[in-house]
Amino acid sequence: MSFRVKLLISYIAVIMLCMIVFGSTVFLSFSRHFNSQISDNLQQVTNLAVDNMTKSMNSIEQVLCNVQANSVITKIISNPQRLSSYEEIAAIEKELQAIDPMRAVVSDLKLYVINRDSYPTSFDSLASSSSLVENEPWYRRTIEKNGGIYWCVLDSSDLNGVLCVARAFIDARTHEVLGVIRADVNLSLFTNDLSRISLDHKGKLFIVYENHIVNTWNDSYIKTFINEQEFFDAVYSSETQPQIKTISGAKHIINKQQLKDSPIILVYAANYKDISADTALVGTSIVFTGIISILGAIILMFLLTGWLTAPITRLISYMRSFDKEWTKVPSEMITNDEMGELCKTYNTMLDTIDSLITDVETLYKNQKMFELKALQAQINPHFLYNTLDSINWMARAHHARDISHMVSALGTFFRHSLNKGNEYTTIENELKQIRSYTDIQKIRYNDKFSVSYDLDESLLKSKIIKLTVQPLVENCIIHGFEDIEEGGEILIRLFSEGDYIYIEVSDNGCGTDTDALNKALGHTIDYNEPIEKYGLSNVNLRIKLYFDDTCGLSFSTNKNGGVTALIKIRRQEYEYKAIDL
């Protein structure tokens, strides 16, 4: 994939992620708010229905209280001097009919009197003997409440549903139970307001009594909860907030509240799908808006990525033509952003490459000049050895011992210098080469100096670069002993510390500025000048090159006023057979 495609995909991924996170956050926040609002609305609707039904129940209870407070009825059924049964019934019925005469609150009102077995057994009478109903559950539970009001549903059919409300009739003076007051209420009338209360015409309000649904409208939605244990578990749970339950394969939201102290529970139930339709609409709107936004963003990003990657494409075209012609990026592409920096770096790279090529060409020319000078300085080893051997025999024939000794030392010196083309040798061979060199110089300078050695013989087989010590000894003889006629001393020490070997060359000569010597060791070699000018720098450079930068050459002034040169090299055993000197 091209950079533009990758950039486009990255933008799309980022925008999609942002849209998903934003959409999910908005949707979840809206859902939580909507669910909270629905819960509050359900509570409000349920509370409104409960308030209405509580008012009806209070009116019914007030009817019963009015009967209880009727002094005429109390006097009739508590008077020891009883009237005839028909007179008592007539008087009680007259009082009961005067209470709620239009039957706007209750459908029927009766008084069941205790110890009135002589009363007629007709159920049509408003006053009857308690013996007619004393075995019925509602009667026994009313007596058990001892003045409390008992609520029950005697019939939950659509047409003849009856809500029974009863309480004991108690003598206020003796607190003796004289009978039971019962008011019957038509269920259709009692629940009439429930059919008109709903949340945006969604869901139903109905009542539940002792694991039975009281349905006075024969509603199909309410019938879905019949015999559903999950529904009744929700109704009789201790939860006070609306609950979401899956019943008959569908989710329903259920809110319930007990009516006063009665066993009657008001339930509001609605299909969750209908209630959450607005949430689904919001979710669909978010998805649709997100898709449109992403499509628009893709078109915009396609244009933007083309604008962003155009300089990169141009730079690539310049880089592809690099092997044909070194064309620099034009100045209009050198901007202040990262792309401009990249173009500027590319132009700098071209300048650097051009400079490096020039340096390489110069270096190549210098190398060739150096090789030419080295070739000019080379001597055929076999011709040299043979010539020196002939001179040696001629000197012996003429009994010229000094000449013979000098020629023999010179031959040994040159053999070590050549070393069969090997750069490395042993310290032992290097010191033998020094002895050959000093023997020659002693003859030349009439023994005006002496050489002594302090050697750790365990280090003699260690590896060293050839012609490392000789320039230092030569420096002592030529420069250190320049102003003396005799008594020159050179001390060569060999010792080690840790992983390093040290070779120390000291003299008692006239001395020099050792700081200037140490500074000169770092000078760059100019190949156009004689190589002899850089003898000490060459030694230092070769040591660092063949060992490492921790090694090298240094100078200091010793206690005799002369110069001490110190060589530091890595301790390494020689791996190849050295020539025998």
Residues 115-132: tens digit of each pLDDT? 888 887 766 788 999 988
Alpha-carbon distance 212 to 302, whole Å? 66
**Contact (CB, 8 A) for 473 and 435:** no
Task: Average the pLDDT over 56-67 and give the result.
Answer: 93
Per-residue confidence (pLDDT) for residue 452, from 0 to 100: 94
Same domain, 224 and 251: yes
Same domain, 217 and 341: no
**Contact (CB, 8 A) for 553 and 534:** no
DSSP state letter for 330 = P
Domain at 222, CATH number: 3.30.450.20
Same domain, 524 and 444: yes
Domain residue limits at 525:
422-570
Q: Is residue 547 part of a domain?
A: yes
Per-residue confidence (pLDDT) for residue 403, from 0 to 100: 73
The region of weakest confidence among 62-66, 134-138, 169-173, 350-354 is 350-354
Same domain, 467 and 518: yes
* Residue 139 confidence (pLDDT) above 90: yes
Same domain, 263 and 217: yes
Q: How confident is the model at residue 142 (pLDDT cuts 50, 70, 90)?
A: very high
* Secondary structure class of 515 (helix, strand, coil): helix
* Residue 579 confidence (pLDDT) above 70: no
Mean pLDDT estimate for the chain: 82
Per-residue confidence (pLDDT) for residue 551, from 0 to 100: 93
Alpha-carbon distance 459 to 409, whole Å? 24
Domain at 547, CATH number: 3.30.565.10
Same domain, 31 and 86: no
**Contact (CB, 8 A) for 312 and 331:** no
Q: CA angle, 377 as apex, 372 and 382 as ends, to 5°?
A: 120
If one counts the domains in the chain, the total is: 4
Same domain, 115 and 164: yes
Handedness of CA 437, 438, 441, 443 (dihedral sign): negative
Q: Is residue 141 part of a domain?
A: yes
**Contact (CB, 8 A) for 252 and 272:** yes
* Residue 52 confidence (pLDDT) above 50: yes
Same domain, 447 and 553: yes
Interval 179-222: pLDDT, tens: 999 999 988 888 877 777 765 667 888 889 988 888 766 788 88
Same domain, 169 and 231: no
Same domain, 342 and 442: no
158-168 burial, b at 16+ Cβ within 10 Å, e below that, comes to eeebbbbbbbb
Interval 268-292: pLDDT, tens: 898 888 877 767 777 788 788 888 8
Same domain, 431 and 565: yes
Q: Is residue 413 part of a domain?
A: no
Task: Average the pLDDT over 462-477 and give the result.
Answer: 90
Q: How confident is the model at residue 144 (pLDDT cuts 50, 70, 90)?
A: very high
